[in-house]
């Protein structure tokens, strides 16, 4: 799409009175810079929530255009295709998550205290936990993750690999250092068990009420994290079969 | 739908040459009883594979009618709605799974040997494992389960509760007997962790290759089960936080 087309699309979006949404309103406030980043971010934010609600297949560029108060041409200007938009939504917040994991591991490694399995597991889980409870966008992303993990297709795998692998591998290395008697491939496998557990917990709280006969409804998010750290750290340190 | 309408629908299905599929072919073989169960089972079998491939939203009654080589009226005669068909698919194989879990637990309880956490965990996981590797239908059901678990809606929860709860609760009770120092609500919560881990493992083998840097590709299904039992049993027995 040419720059002229983008400008035309933006002009149309601004002119159409029925498209007057939060995004266009905000742009018009005095002192707010009118720049590309504004629209691009709005589209990403609205797409994140839309994909979380409807899944990749259930949401069209048109749906997102409506939610973002822009026309479809502008979305295609920034993201070419629905797949690219989805990927960018995933990369954006997944990247923040990976970054936070890196930083927490750095702090552990440089903290001078002896490394423990529990501390490493907690550092890995904490950012995902914080994200879930960070508001609408964070919890939308967590639902979107769950959906992506339920689609074991090549594309989904490639995206997750791109976003998460570097940080996960540093965690496997840190665990291998603390657990020299456990083969690294077993630690990698147990790391996969860990991912399964926390994804399920993040997404499936209704079911947990059932399995505990309603006794876990009032558990706080911190208690839940403590329980998970205890369980997973024990599993990671288990005897090798 | 009246019986006459069903017969008409069946007659149409049999008459239409373009609908001549595996199912109608099989029905015509000499000696094969022509009874309702035949069509009903065919519809359930085809629906199971279709839903696993396309998800609930992505598959219509029409798709299933085409795959089963029957007309839509016949499907509606047996199942009224798409939701009811889906539920019946889920109940049918989920019920077999729950039944198998009950039987394996019975054998443990009546076996005269002292109960162990590992034996209980293995009895719980084994039927799901066997199902995954039992052929096309079994592995389709496992994918369908993954999709259902990624949809934390009221209906999905109710269905899973109906199919699995009774057997899960017996396992929680058995674990509580072996682990008298761990509160039952903690055991229930750990049972939920266990469910998360095995669902992820059943569905996400591509990702596991990544997390182990390709080292786990050649692990056999029995080894994988051993690894999971070891990990989960250690987690279930962990100190209470």
Give me the CATH number covering residue B200. 1.10.357.10
CB contact under 8 A, B206 and A233: no
Of B29, B44, B79, which residue sits at a domain end? B79
Q: At what angle do helices A61-68 and A72-79 cross, to 10 degrees?
A: 110
B64 and B104 in a single domain? The answer is: no
Instruction: Give burial (CB, 10 Å; 0-12/13-18/19+) of A150.
Output: buried
Choose the final residue of a domain: A20, A55, A79: A79
Worst-scoring range by mean pLDDT, A55-64, A160-169, A211-220, B120-129?
A211-220
Q: How many domains does chain A have?
A: 2
* Domain shared by A13 and A39, yes or no: yes
B98 shares a domain with B10: no
Does residue B7 fall inside a structural domain?
yes
Burial A92-121 (b: 16+ CB within 10 A, else e): ebbeebbebbbebbeebeeeeeeeebbbbb
Residue A225, pLDDT above cutoff 80: yes
Least Cα distance to B240 among A85, A223, A169 occurs for A223
Q: Do B147 and A150 touch (CB under 8 A)?
A: yes
ipTM of predicted complex: 0.77
What residue has token string 């960070």?
Answer: A134
Residue of A nearest to B191 (CA): A211
B235 contacts A232? CB cut-off 8 A: yes
B43 within some domain? yes
Per DSSP, the residues of B133-185 read TS-HHHHHHHHHHHHHHT---HHHHHHHHHHHHHHHHHHHHHHHHH-TTS-HH
Give a yes or no: residue A101 inside a domain.
yes
Q: Residue A241 falls within a domain, yes or no?
A: no
**CATH number of the CATH domain containing B59:** 1.10.10.60
A51 and A170 inside one domain: no
* pLDDT over 60 (residue A87): yes
User: Has residue A209 got a pLDDT over 90?
Assistant: no
* More confidently predicted of B178 and A220: B178
Residue of B nearest to A169 (CA): B211
Q: Are residues A126 and A192 in the same domain?
A: yes
Structural domain range at position B153: 87-236
At A27, is the pLDDT very low, low, confident or very high (cuts 50, 70, 90)?
very low
pLDDT grade for A139, boundaries at 50, 70 and 90: confident
Are B209 and B161 members of one domain? Answer: yes
Greater pLDDT, B137 or B25: B137
> Where a domain ends, among A52, A79, A106?
A79
B51 with B132, same domain: the answer is no
Do residue B207 and residue A226 have CB atoms under 8 angstroms apart?
no
Does pLDDT of B65 surpass 50? yes
Residue showing tokens 């994991």: A101
Task: Tell me: pLDDT of B111 over 80.
Answer: yes
Provide, as residue numbers in chain A, all residues whose Cβ is less than 8 Å from the Cβ of B198: 196
Q: When comparing pLDDT for B221 and B107, which is higher?
A: B107
Q: What is the pLDDT of residues B157-202, one digit of tens each?
A: 788 888 888 899 999 999 999 999 999 989 999 998 998 888 777 7
Same-domain check for residues A93 and A70: no
Which DSSP string corresponds to B48-98?
A: HHHHHHHHHHH--HHHHHHHHTS-HHHHHHHHSSHHHHHHHHHHHHHHHHH
Torsion of CA B220, B216, B133, B87, to 10 degrees: 150
B65 and B117 in a common domain: no
For A191, which residue in chain B has the nearest alpha carbon? Answer: B211
Per-residue pLDDT reduced to its tens digit, B67-100: 999 999 999 999 989 999 999 999 999 999 999 9
Partner-chain contact A193 B212, CB within 8 Å:
no
Predicted confidence (pLDDT) per residue in A152-175, tens digit: 567 777 888 888 888 999 999 999
Q: Which residue of A has its CA nearest to B143?
A: A150
Enter the tokens of residue A196. 């399964």
Residues A57 and A155 in one domain: no
Whole-number Å distance between alpha carbons of A128 and A118:
16
Burial class, A139, CB count within 10 angstroms (exposed 0-12 / middle 13-18 / buried 19+): middle
Mutate: best of A211, A218, A222, A227, partner B, most B CBs <10 A: A211
Residue B241 lies in a domain: no
Checking if the pLDDT of A208 tops 90, the result is: no
A60 interaction partners in chain B (CB closer than 8 Å) = none
What is the pLDDT of chain A when averaged over all its residues?
Answer: 81
Condensed to tens digits (0 to 9), the pLDDT of residues A126-138 reads 998 888 888 888 8
Query: Are B9 and B50 in the same domain?
Result: yes
Chain A / chain B CB contacts < 8 angstroms? 184
| A98 and A65 in a common domain | no
């Amino acid at each position: 799409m040419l720059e002229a087309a983008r400008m035309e699309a933006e002009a149309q979006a601004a002119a159409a009175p029925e498209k007057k949404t939060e995004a266009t309103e905000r742009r018009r406030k005095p002192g707010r810079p009118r720049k590309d980043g504004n629209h691009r971010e709005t589209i990403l934010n609205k797409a994140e929530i839309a994909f979380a609600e409807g899944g990749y297949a259930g949401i069209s560029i048109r749906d997102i255009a409506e939610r973002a108060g822009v026309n479809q041409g502008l979305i295609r200007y920034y993201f070419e295709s629905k797949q690219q938009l989805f990927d960018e939504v995933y990369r954006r917040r997944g990247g923040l998550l990976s970054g936070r994991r890196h930083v927490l591991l750095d702090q552990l490694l440089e903290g001078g205290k002896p490394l423990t399995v529990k501390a490493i597991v907690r550092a890995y889980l904490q950012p995902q936990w914080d994200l879930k409870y960070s508001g609408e966008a964070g919890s939308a992303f967590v639902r979107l993750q769950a959906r992506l993990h339920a689609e074991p297709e090549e594309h989904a795998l490639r995206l997750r690999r791109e976003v998460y692998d570097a940080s996960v591998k540093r965690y496997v290395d840190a665990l291998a250092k603390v657990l020299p008697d456990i083969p690294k491939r077993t630690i990698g496998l147990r790391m996969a068990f860990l991912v399964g557990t926390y994804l399920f917990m993040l997404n499936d709280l209704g079911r947990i009420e059932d399995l505990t006969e309603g006794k876990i409804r009032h558990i706080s998010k911190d208690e839940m994290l403590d329980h998970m750290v205890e369980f997973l750290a024990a599993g990671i340190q288990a005897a090798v079969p």
